[in-house]
Structure 1
């Protein structure tokens, strides 16, 4: 007995829409998926500001104890005058030694004079004194001219003027991994003298390290050059400088440094990749130039053929139209420098 033949199972053909939806579901009213937006370069996130050290929660600049210098000079002169009066009373005609209280008064006058004159100092414009006693912050003095500060406190001078610093070439990489050398110009000043001297060991070294770190972080977000189309690059110095300034200001604020501007003054490829990147840049410029020339040639040929046929100057069939378009394209393209001259072919 012969076995019954098995019927092949029906094959269901599912046609898909270019968006990825089966055509059957599309006819039933299935919604198309939302178009995926083009990838946008992620902005540099704002860093979280650091906090003061836990052992100094109130570490912030405040006014320190200081007096005008003329007060100390007046006190010193008064003390010297009192001492001179006591010595004048004990002159030879009196023929008597100084009494114990007179010796105590002279010693007191001497101590007052030493303290008054020993605390005199000169405050300069653009500088400030940071005071500390037994390792604890006691305030800052921004007075100018002759100033009296207690001689028992430790005084450290700090420059609070607007300053600028140009970095050495910093080695970084861009978004495509190309090695770069960047020079950054930073305009900054000390805003909080207490944090600048006490919250960090060396605020100048801290600033240099943060400039290198922020530069590497910002420049790694974008390519140095756009070889494959138009897009944001590191050649936009204004945008890169604004992002670098914002990031560096946030990092330096906890140590009392105010950053007003951080601008890359020079961005160039590293010597080991400079030649290859230069050839790539020249090739991209040449391709862009050829594309521009070809677009203008096609527009000119289309306008010429349209005018000729619209005004009835020539009657062309398809073959003649193709030949005319070819000849005009070659002529215009050669004329505009997009290819070699006919005599050189």
Structure 2
């Protein structure tokens, strides 16, 4: 199998001067009845298809009757064999934002996902001849890679799953992006494509389970918040009892301590403001 071959071609300005001179002499000779000058005229026009431009970050792949001759990456105005077929391949970085596709994550939940890919051609021979259409190849392989990636990781994990350290599509952005970039690099290497960056562009649960998963996420958040509230409430009750005992403000037996703890926990853990009740009697009533 051949590989990319960088070649040098002739300076176009020098051959342009030769071509103009040949055409001018040919026209002058024909007007004077010198038929041999017609050969110079024909030669000048024969030279014209050999001129071509190579713009910055572009290249020309040269073929001669189906045989790969080489690739010109140097910028400028050049001349080559007029029989060469010249195929333009851009070396610029390109962005690709894939369509949102519905796939199942590792847990079997349907999700909507898309990828953003930044790529460029690294090997012009592979891009031109190893695949039919390298731009379409990038689109198809990006779609396949993101489908495979989604099946390897869950969308999210929950505390009750006991997998807090597991890599997920939603939380582990860097790890997932690295895995996606590696997968795409392996797939696109045969087309001579270099992956500059790959990451998840869109991620969400599919519409049919979005509401249910939202409720589950909300429930998990509420439980976590309640856990923090209870921890804080216990700490505050403990501090209150210690301060009352230390400063000997009031003597409380076990029954009264239990009642005080119960009242404080209700007040501190409630999601609504407590309604105060004034006790106009003694401490025992």
Q: Same fold (TM over 0.5)?
A: yes
Indicate the residue corresponding to 1:226 in structure 2: 157
The 5 Å alignment of 1:266-281 reads: 266-281=202-217
Q: 1-side partners of 2:218 and 2:134: how far apart?
A: 44
Number of aligned positions between the proteins: 271
Q: 2-side partners of 1:342 and 1:172: how far apart?
A: 52
The answer to whether 1:212 aligns with 2:143 is yes
Rg comparison, structure with higher value: 1
Q: 1-side partners of 2:64 and 2:107: how far apart?
A: 53
The answer to whether 1:242 aligns with 2:178 is yes
User: Unaligned 5+ residue runs, structure 2?
Assistant: 277-285
Aligned with 2:264 (options 299, 303, 328): 328
Contact 2:127 2:192 in 1 (8 A): yes
Cα deviation for residue 85 of structure 1 reads 7.7
Contact 1:72 1:117 in 2 (8 A): no
Q: Deviations over 1:287-314 (max 9, x none)?
A: 2222221121112112222222234334
The 5 Å alignment of 1:235-314 reads: 235-236=170-171, 237-314=173-250
Q: 2-side partners of 1:84 and 1:265: how far apart?
A: 62
Q: 1-side partners of 2:29 and 2:143: how far apart?
A: 67
Indicate the residue corresponding to 1:156 in structure 2: 87
For the structure 1 residues 168 and 87, does the alpha-carbon distance in structure 2 shift closer, same or farther, using more than 3 Å as the test? Answer: closer
Cα deviation for residue 110 of structure 1 reads 4.2
Q: Deviations over 1:13-41 (max 9, x none)?
A: xxxxxxxxxxxxxxxxxxxxxxxxxxxxx
The 5 Å alignment of 1:99-248 reads: 103=36, 107=39, 109-228=40-159, 230-231=164-165, 232-236=167-171, 237-248=173-184
Q: 2-side partners of 1:331 and 1:275: how far apart?
A: 32
Contact 1:119 1:150 in 2 (8 A): yes
Q: Deviations over 1:204-256 (max 9, x none)?
A: 12111221222122233332222225444222333322321232123212311
Indicate the residue corresponding to 1:33 in structure 2: none
Contact 1:66 1:150 in 2 (8 A): no
Cα deviation for residue 84 of structure 1 reads 6.3
Q: 1-side partners of 2:236 and 2:153: how far apart?
A: 38
Moved over 4 A (4+): 81-88, 339-343
Q: Note the aligned Cα RMSD (angstroms).
A: 2.6
Cα deviation for residue 274 of structure 1 reads 1.3
The answer to whether 1:63 aligns with 2:6 is yes
Q: 1-side partners of 2:16 and 2:274: how far apart?
A: 93
For residue 204 of structure 2, give the secondary structure of its aligned residue in structure 1. Answer: strand
Cα deviation for residue 142 of structure 1 reads 2.1
Contact 1:75 1:116 in 2 (8 A): no
User: Unaligned 5+ residue runs, structure 1?
Assistant: 1-55, 92-97
Contact 2:64 2:83 in 1 (8 A): yes
For normalisation by structure 2, the TM-score amounts to 0.84
For residue 69 of structure 2, give the secondary structure of its aligned residue in structure 1. Answer: strand
- Greater helix proportion: 2
Contact 1:309 1:315 in 2 (8 A): yes
For normalisation by structure 1, the TM-score amounts to 0.70
Aligned with 2:19 (options 76, 94, 114): 76
